[in-house]
Amino acid sequence: MYPDCDLEMLMARYQRGDFAAATALIHRLSPQLHRFFVVQFTSRGHADDLVQETWLRIHEVRHTYRAGEPVLPWFYAIARHIRVDHYRKASRTAAREEPLEEMHASALSPPGSSRTPDLEALLACLPDSQREVIEMLKVAGMSLDEVARATSSSVGSVKQKAHRAYQRLRERLSAVDLSKGRTGELS
């Protein structure tokens, strides 16, 4: 991805009010943050909103970043809190509101597009804590130590969650392969 020292330098410049550094950070990290949110929510629109909300929060609390510390865990800790806040707010709203109408997934996808099971669908079977660890390790390319900092847990806990997630994903992929094999035999 991007060298950590480059991101740390940009963050230090951003703290000093450098608009170009802020713009560079946004361009470099927004795609990662978007993937972080889109895996959790079915709507890309929600993910877009959460990315914007994350950048607003980062701007408000940029003074709390400690120069020399890794930037990604700091960003992901903020993003994680935004996601939790969004989940809580959505839960409260859902409890008080009734939907006007239900839309089917086919109505939401653009014509001619075919959604195949991909990373989002594969990770959907994982508990939130395991999915979050896999996203940070494999999608965002963070180290075990960085993930531990971002999730406020130990490196051992991160390793355990990742191990359990890998195990669950292997089982799911094996089941998919077996079902494809049986389908082929029947044809």
Query: What is the distance between the alpha carbons of residues 8 and 58, in angstroms, rounded to a whole number?
Result: 14
Does residue 137 contact residue 149 with C-beta atoms inside 8 Å? no
User: What integer pLDDT is reported at residue 4 of this predicted model?
Assistant: 58
Residue 11 shares a structural domain with residue 80: yes
Query: What is the distance between the alpha carbons of residues 165 and 19, in angstroms, rounded to a whole number?
Result: 40
Q: Looking at residue 158, which CATH number applies to its domain?
A: 1.10.10.10
Report whether pLDDT(62) > 80.
yes
User: What integer pLDDT is reported at residue 107 of this predicted model?
Assistant: 44
Helix axes 19-38, 71-96, angle to 10 degrees: 50
CA angle at 127 for the pair 52 and 177, rounded to the nearest 5° = 110
Residue 125 shares a structural domain with residue 178: yes
Mean pLDDT of the chain: 80
Report whether pLDDT(23) > 90.
yes
Q: Looking at residue 3, which CATH number applies to its domain?
A: 1.10.1740.10
Domain span at residue 14 reads 1-95
Q: 99-109, pLDDT tens digit by residue?
A: 555 444 444 44
User: What integer pLDDT is reported at residue 89 of this predicted model?
Assistant: 78
User: What integer pLDDT is reported at residue 172 of this predicted model?
Assistant: 83
Among 54, 173, 84, CA closest to 123: 173
Residue 84 shares a structural domain with residue 132: no
Residue 91 shares a structural domain with residue 1: yes
Residue 90 shares a structural domain with residue 126: no
Query: What is the distance between the alpha carbons of residues 161 and 123, in angstroms, rounded to a whole number?
Result: 13
Residue 69 shares a structural domain with residue 1: yes
Distances (CA, A) of 29 to 54, 127, 164: 11, 25, 28
Does residue 138 contact residue 38 with C-beta atoms inside 8 Å? no
Residue 84 shares a structural domain with residue 146: no
Report whether pLDDT(93) > 60.
yes
How many separate domains does the chain show? 2
pLDDT-based confidence at 94, cuts 50/70/90?
low
User: What integer pLDDT is reported at residue 160 of this predicted model?
Assistant: 95
HEC-encoded secondary structure of the chain: CCCHHHHHHHHHHHHCCCHHHHHHHHHHHHHHHHHHHHCCCCCHHHHHHHHHHHHHHHHHHHHHCCCCCCHHHHHHHHHHHHHHHHHHHHHHHHHHCCCCCCCCHHHHCCCCCCCCCCHHHHHCCCCHHHHHHHHHHHHCCCCHHHHHHHCCCCHHHHHHHHHHHHHHHHHHHHHHHHHHHHHHHHC
Determine, yes or no, domain membership for 106: no
Report whether pLDDT(81) > 50.
yes
- Out of 6-15, 23-32, 119-128, 131-140, which region has the weakest mean confidence (pLDDT)? 119-128
